[in-house]
Amino acid sequence: MDTQIILSICQIIAVAAIPLIIWLVGNKQMRKKEKLEAKRDLFFTLMKQRKTFNVTRERADALNLIDVVYQDDDKVREAWKNYLSSLNPNSAEFQNNNAYLLDLLSEMAQSLGYKQLKQTEIDRFYEPQAIIDDINNERLALLETIKAMRFITSQKEEEPHARNTI
């Protein structure tokens, strides 16, 4: 074959292959970025709620996603397993579950590249008294509503008996 024809064929192949290669590399980079964002979002969710006593649906969902989102990080998954075990009130680790949470968050931070973030910094948490007061007021209002509903229910249950005695 003529050298010119071979060069032309190579140019055609290169022109056809370059967009495919660019697409494959870009697609791989995009998946990598999405995985990193998922890890970061999950970590931030747990960091925002690390000292709250109420377990929200968002927090429970985030914890349940750890095995999927951090599937490539054995240290995070092991820390999650230990923390999960410590959440059982009958486990020996129950009294130390905050320490296990700190271990989990620390491993997640390391995995994300927050190498300088110490456990003492992760343990630090700010919650203004006004927020605590609002939460307590909401609880009291809910409790009063429940008491009122019980009173109304008990009154309705007593009414038929009162009519039968007359």
- Cα–Cα distance measured from residue 88 to residue 100, given in angstroms and rounded to the nearest whole number: 12
The better pLDDT of the pair 148, 97 is held by 97
Given a cut of 90, whether residue 63 has pLDDT beyond it is: yes
Whole-number pLDDT of residue 152: 79
**Cβ(59)–Cβ(49) below 8 Å:** yes
- 5 Cα distance to chain centroid: 59
Q: Quick one: pLDDT band at residue 124, thresholds 50, 70, 90?
A: confident
- In 3D space, the residue among 16, 35, 3 whose CA is nearest the CA of residue 111 turns out to be 35
Which of 70-79, 120-129, 151-160 is predicted with the least confidence, judged by mean pLDDT?
151-160
Q: Quick one: pLDDT band at residue 163, thresholds 50, 70, 90?
A: low
Task: Count the helix, strand and coil residues of the chain and give each as a percent rounded to the nearest 5.
Answer: 80, 0, 20
Distances (CA, A) of 111 to 35, 72, 160: 12, 10, 65
Three-state secondary-structure class, residue 114 = coil
Residue 115, amino acid: K
Three-state secondary-structure class, residue 51 = coil
- Cα–Cα distance measured from residue 132 to residue 126, given in angstroms and rounded to the nearest whole number: 11
